[in-house]
Amino acid sequence: MVGHGRLMRRAGAFVSLAAALGLAGCSSFNFLGKKDLPPDEPADRLYNEGLYYLNAEKKPKDAVKKFEEVDRQHPYSEWGRKALLMSAYSHYESGDYEESISAAKRYIALHPGSPDAAYAQYLIAASYYDQIPDISRDQERTEKALATLQEVVNKYPDSEYANSAKQKMEVARDQLAGKEMDIGRWYLNRKDYTGAINRFKVVVTKFQTTRHVEEALERLTEAYMALGIVEEAQTAAAVLGHNFPDSSWYKDAYKLVKSGGVEPSEDQGSWISRAFKKVGLARN
């Protein structure tokens, strides 16, 4: 995972520094001065044990327990801050995504100016991203992944996590486009052409950079021809041919409009034409 190696190096360096300074925990006394509670364990020992479980033993659930003890016993220390982030990562490694999200959000709320806040935000996004389901299921997690990945890019554009977030965003966008295509085909097969057009329109306007846009334009050609809205069908085919001249989907769209006695021809006032011009200007 991007950034994990750097995080672990910093975690290890923190342990070394603490050992050199001889940091230790504090004991608990009641108001009479008698020790009636077990003493807090030294923060450095708990933290180091957490790293051992995480790295050497490959037991992230056990690591979580140690890091959470650091946070509980030494909440306002530098140890506590580091442990909270490591707890979020250990939860992520365990596949306990909701717990990872919760811990990472708490880290950001408590330490928004920390150098590791970008990593905490990335952990939130990665936790949603790793839960992206197949296109046959509800895509709420995909939408959350896309939104939180965008936050990484917006809030921490110069961080080492921004490029990875952008790559993951493309996968998430492709997934959402695939869902729209799946529903659109369902409508098309049932001859609900208006319902199909509405779904394919989402792909063309919102997910134009995904691999699904070629098929979406061909399906729009098909649906508009079926409704007798020939000019829009011609425009869909023309835009498809202009942007993807070697596409097999363009060959199908071309044959379709030709079978209706017309040629692909772009109407500059069509929403299809405007959608592609808008994205083209944004790219420039």
Q: Residues 6 or more apart from 273 whose CB is under 8 A from it?
A: 235, 239, 266, 267
Is residue 4 predicted with pLDDT exceeding 60? Answer: no
Contact 277, 258 (CB under 8 A): no
Is residue 1 predicted with pLDDT exceeding 60? Answer: no
Is residue 73 predicted with pLDDT exceeding 50? Answer: yes
Contact 210, 219 (CB under 8 A): no
DSSP label of 140: H
Is 1-21+36-131's fold the same as 176-283's?
A: yes
Give me the percent of the chain exceeding a pLDDT of 90.
Answer: 81
pLDDT digits (tens, 9 = 90+) for 93-141: 999 999 999 999 999 999 999 999 999 999 999 999 999 999 999 999 9
Q: Tell me whether residue 280 is exposed, middle or buried, using C-beta atoms within 10 angstroms of its C-beta: 0 to 12, 13 to 18, 19 or more.
A: exposed
pTM reported for the whole predicted model = 0.82
Distance separating alpha carbons of residues 170 and 247, to the nearest angstrom: 21
**Residue holding tokens 């909270």?**
84
Is residue 194 predicted with pLDDT exceeding 60? Answer: yes
Domain 176-283 classified CATH 1.25.40.10? Answer: yes
Is residue 47 predicted with pLDDT exceeding 70? Answer: yes
The pLDDT assigned to 284 comes to 37
What residues does each domain of the chain span? Answer: 1-21+36-131, 176-283
Distance separating alpha carbons of residues 237 and 186, to the nearest angstrom: 21
Cα distances (angstroms) measured from residue 234 to each of 67, 134, 230: 62, 33, 6
Domain covering 1-21+36-131, topology: 1.25.40
The pLDDT assigned to 41 comes to 86
Task: State whether residue 38 is helix, strand or coil.
Answer: coil
